[in-house]
Chain A
Amino acid sequence: MGKTLAEKVWDAHVVRKGDGEGTNAQPDLLFIDLHLVHEVTSPQAFEGLRLAGRQLRRPDLTIATEDHNTPTLEIDKPIADLTSRTQIETLRANCKEFGVRLHSLGDKEQGIVHVVGPQLGLTQPGMTVVCGDSHTSTHGAFGALAMGIGTSEVEHVMATQTLSLKPFKTMAINVEGTLRPGVSAKDIILAVIAKIGTGGGQGYVLEYRGSAIRALSMEARMTICNMSIEAGARAGMVAPDQTTYDYMQGRPHAPEGADWDAAVEYWNTLHTDADAMFDVEVDLDADTLEPFVTWGTNPGQGVSLNDAVPSPEDFGDENAKLAAERALQYMGLEAGTPMKDIRVDTVFLGSCTNSRIEDLRAAADVIRGRAKDPNVRMLVVPGSARVRLEAEAEGLDKVFKDFGAEWRFAGCSMCLGMNPDQLAPGERCASTSNRNFEGRQGKGGRTHLVSPVVAAATAVRGTLSSPSDLESVSVAASDAA
């Protein structure tokens, strides 16, 4: 029997098979090709190495950046929050001591770790990629096996360049058809999570397949793989194809010459064999998919934008019913309210899910020539310094600023509010990020997860909206912008 993509990448990285069989089997020891490091989950790992008198085994397979704590305004000034500043300074000292390449705030390669890896060409098909961050699943878009790990595992990878892992089960997510205008990768993944639940992927590596996935750009595939963790999965993958190769070629760390040819020959083998079996298959119809938004406090609590806030009574399972009741109370929502009647205070365009150049372009296309609802604050936070530069070269910064949005420096920002970018208690936000947990974007803040174009349309109307809800802009206004 053939192998799935995930199994092929796994098998290619086994340093040592675990002893024993079946449920008594010990984990396999897997080699890690790339270790991404940031300031929040690494200090205790570096400290562990230091205490044990250990070195970093492969600094040449390790790269660090500053993203979670970094301010998005006045980045040339010292960080005001002392504990944030200490954490950043600790990363700088640790990288220096252990010989790790670091892109600090102000560096043109600084940015959200999951934006930086791919744009440097460090993320490649068939690799194992880890980071002390659950959204490492992003890198699976290249056909890499990419996983978030805890700090103990970060230390383990630092010391050994390996991880002990038990084999996962495999799940195919088949998305066939053609997305309608205004429907995007974010809507696909929100619909997948609503379908299988926040625990539905637990123990699985997901492989996104089908014509709708093949038609997506690399950045859109990254959006989908990024949120695999919100379905509980350890990783999400897309098999590499010409789209992948076109994205990679010419990037700073992409192979060149004979190495490129050898790499492509290998990458071409990285697909699920026709006779391979997945443990589970899930189908989603792209043709009928509508823009998707969340109403609750976990990413599985989502509906189509054209639907209404559900009632707890709609859920058969007692736990789901209780969770819905609690979520509605936290979100300050009444069952039956049309989603499009929900008014927001803030729109956040950013995060490792949706802060790449295509996301910014898509949002800019919606707002160009339009005016922002005066009661809405909009933050635009590019995923990396390089994305910011690229956007400015295209004049997108001007589009956002003319619209009335705030154009910020790169980082995780309001996705988790470790820096000053936070919601006030009770404030409601349409956010292109990945988590609508209680208090995630600031204590008492209320989050609706949306796609970049829904975020943009919402900023125009002030209520959750899709671009199709907007009146058309005159050609003259468009040209003027």
Chain B
Amino acid sequence: MEKFTTHTGIGVPLRQSNVDTDQIIPAVYLKRITRTGFEDALFAGWRKDESFILNQEPFSAGSVLVAGPDFGTGSSREHAVWALKDYGFKAVLSSRFADIFRGNSGKQGLLAAQVAQDDIELIWKVLENNPGTEVKVDLVSKTVECGNVVAPFEIDDYTRWRLLEGLDDIGLTLQHEGDITAYEATRPSFKPKTLPARG
């Protein structure tokens, strides 16, 4: 995973709450077996509407999505994160993220920055009044900057550390393989295995 320290790019105001992962990437686009190539599937339903924000210049070149509360609800599909990344987004700002989406983002190096809704509203105004304004997302200081708005954001310390260092989760866990083996030895015999059932 690439390290993430700061990113500056065009902000995209998405004035909508409850943006579920079916909207971020509809199910018909989940049939690929690769991890890349999902850019055209991002918001596929909404992008058919000319007035959708990503169909407008200069927002189509955006890399920081500024969304309403409850972003990424619904399906666990990590394809939602892949689609945002493949399109070019580096960070999403929202006052509340669905747990699974936030977890998936952290695994893939997409920054899910939790910003207070009042600050989101201020950033929306800047981006709408001055389209093309850049948003600076600084993971070191945990702040976002957009025009004259400077706001703190929240992210859990562990995810922040992993993003800053660009660390691979599986590698980290396998450092503790001895602990896993020791745990496995204590697992009670009544717990099921998936190998062929009796009878």
Contact A24 B176 (CB under 8 A): no
Output the residue of B22, B69, B158, B192 with the most chain A CB within 10 A.
B192
Q: How far is the CA of A320 from the CA of B117 in the complex (A)?
A: 13
Q: How far is the CA of A198 from the CA of B35 in the complex (A)?
A: 29
Assess whether B31 is in contact with A418, with CB atoms less than 8 Å apart: yes
Q: How far is the CA of A60 from the CA of B184 in the complex (A)?
A: 12
The interface stretch among A159-167, A342-350, A390-398, A403-411 is A159-167
Mark each residue of chain B from 75 to 119: 1 if its CB lies under 8 Å from any CB of chain A, else 0.
111110100000000000000101110011001100000000100
Q: How far is the CA of A149 from the CA of B198 in the complex (A)?
A: 30
For B99, list chain A residues within 8 Å (CB): 202-203, 232, 234
A16 and B199 contact, CB distance less than 8 A: no
Contact of A61 among B32, B33, B194 (CB under 8 A): B194
- B39 partner residues in chain A, CB cutoff 8 A: none
With an 8 A cutoff between CB atoms, is A432 at the interface? no
Quick one: closest B residue to A439, CB to CB?
B45
Min distance, Cβ A297 to any Cβ of chain B, angstroms: 8
Which of B23, B158, B172 is the one whose CB lies under 8 Å from A438? B23
Q: Select the residue from A23, A33, A41, A152 with max chain B CB neighbours within 10 A.
A: A152
Interface size class of A (residues with CB under 8 A): 35 or more
Any B CB within 8 A of the CB of A208: no
**CB-CB nearest in chain A for B103:** A150
Minimal Cβ-Cβ distance residue in B for A126: B191
Q: Is A166 touching B156 in the complex (CB atoms < 8 A)? A: yes
Question: A122 contacts the other chain (Cβ, under 8 Å)?
Answer: yes
A271 at the interface (CB under 8 A from B): no
**Among residues 116 to 170 in chain A, which have CB atoms less than 8 Å away from a CB atom of chain B?**
120-122, 124, 127, 132-134, 148-153, 155-156, 159-162, 164, 166
User: Interface segment, B2-10, B13-21, B126-134, B137-145?
Assistant: B13-21
Closest-by-CB residue of B relative to A63 is B194
Q: Which chain B residues border A15 with CB–CB below 8 Å?
A: 176, 179-180, 183
Does A101 reach chain B (CB closer than 8 Å)? yes
Any B CB within 8 A of the CB of A2: no
Q: A439 touching B180 by the CB < 8 A rule?
A: no
Whether the Cβ atoms of B193 and A61 lie closer than 8 Å is yes
Rounded to whole Å, the gap between the CB of B65 and the closest CB of chain A is 17
A474 within 8 A of B: no
With A31-B184, A134-B100, A298-B18 in contact, do A101 and B195 touch (Cβ < 8 Å)?
yes
Alpha-carbon gap, A229 to B195, bound state (A): 30
Cβ contact within 8 Å between B78 and A152:
yes
A173 at the interface (CB under 8 A from B): no
* Cα–Cα, bound, A227→B96 (Å): 19
Instruction: Please tell me if the beta carbons of A52 and B170 are within 8 angstroms of each other in the complex.
Output: yes
Contact B27 A44 (CB under 8 A): no
Q: How far is the CB of A367 from chain B (nearest CB, A)?
A: 29
Report the number of A-B residue pairs with Cβ-Cβ less than 8 Å. 216
B residues adjacent to A (C-beta < 8 A): 15-18, 20, 22-23, 26-28, 30-35, 45, 68-70, 73-79, 81, 96, 98-100, 103-104, 107-108, 117, 156-158, 169-170, 172-174, 176-177, 179-180, 183-184, 187-199
Residues from chain A with Cβ under 8 Å of B28 in the complex: 417-418
Residues of B within 8 A of A203 (CB): 99
Give, as a whole number of angstroms, the nearest-CB distance from A108 to chain B.
12
Q: Of all chain A residues, which has the CB nearest B169?
A: A156
Collect the chain B residues with CB atoms within 8 Å of residue A81's CB. 31
User: Given A60-B194, A83-B32, A41–B78 Cβ distance below 8 Å?
Assistant: yes
Give the residue name and chain of the B residue nearest to A18 (CB): B158
A375 CB to nearest B CB, Å:
27
State which of A24, A31, A149, A199 has its C-beta within 8 Å of the C-beta of B100. Answer: A149
Q: A122-B194, A323-B18 are in contact. Are A437 and B188 (CB under 8 A)?
A: no
Can you list 10 A-B contacts (CB < 8 A)? A40-B31, A150-B76, A150-B81, A152-B107, A161-B180, A202-B99, A229-B74, A252-B198, A439-B23, A440-B27
Q: Is A270 part of the binding interface, using a Cβ–Cβ cutoff of 8 Å?
A: no
Is the beta-carbon distance between A24 and B194 smaller than 8 angstroms? Answer: no
Q: How far is the CB of B71 from chain A (nearest CB, A)?
A: 10
Q: Are the CB atoms of B170 and A155 closer together than 8 Å?
A: yes
User: Which residues from A are CB-within-8-Å of B198?
Assistant: 252, 256
Establish whether residues B192 and A40, one from each chain, have CB atoms under 8 Å apart when the complex forms: no
Compute how far the CA of A351 lies from the CA of B32 in the bound complex, rounded to whole angstroms: 23
